[in-house]
Amino acid sequence: MLVLSRKKDEVIMVGDDIEITLVDIRGDQVKIGVSAPRSVSIHRKEIYDAIQQENKAAAQASKQSVASLAEVLRKKEMQAKD
C-alpha cells in the first residue's frame, strides 16, 4: 500500500485520468473529491462490498433457476416419451 501525505486542495493522480483531491480536513474526517472517466466505477468500500454480495447472490439464484428449469424440461420430455 502506498501511503501519501497531502494537504487541503492537493491532488493525487491515479494513472493518467483519475484525480483524487483533498477537499477538506476537519478533525479526524477528510473529504475527498474524485474525478474519473464515466467508465470507472467509484464507490465507498462498504457499498462496493454490498454490490459484490448482491451480485454473488444473483448469480447463485440464476444457477438455481437454470437448474430448476432444466429439471422441469427433463420431466416434460420424459412425459412426452410416454
> Do 39 and 47 meet the contact criterion of CB atoms below 8 Å apart?
no
Residues 24 and 50 in one domain: no
Residue with cell 420431466: 75
Residues 28 and 2 in one domain: yes
Query: Looking at residue 68, what is its pLDDT?
Result: 84
> Do 45 and 35 meet the contact criterion of CB atoms below 8 Å apart?
no
Residues 34 and 1 in one domain: yes
Q: How many domains does the chain have?
A: 2
Residues 48 and 34 in one domain: no
Q: Which amino acid is at 66?
A: V
Residues 4 and 23 in one domain: yes
Full domain range(s) for residue 26: 1-38
Confidence of residue 64 (pLDDT cuts 50, 70, 90): confident
Confidence of residue 74 (pLDDT cuts 50, 70, 90): confident
Residues 6 or more apart whose CB falls under 8 angstroms from that of 34 comprise 18, 19, 20, 21, 42
Distance, CA of 22 to CA of 60 (rounded, Å) = 40
Q: Which grid coordinates belong to 41?
A: 466505477
Q: 14-57 pLDDT, tens per residue?
A: 999 999 999 999 999 999 999 999 999 999 999 999 999 999 88
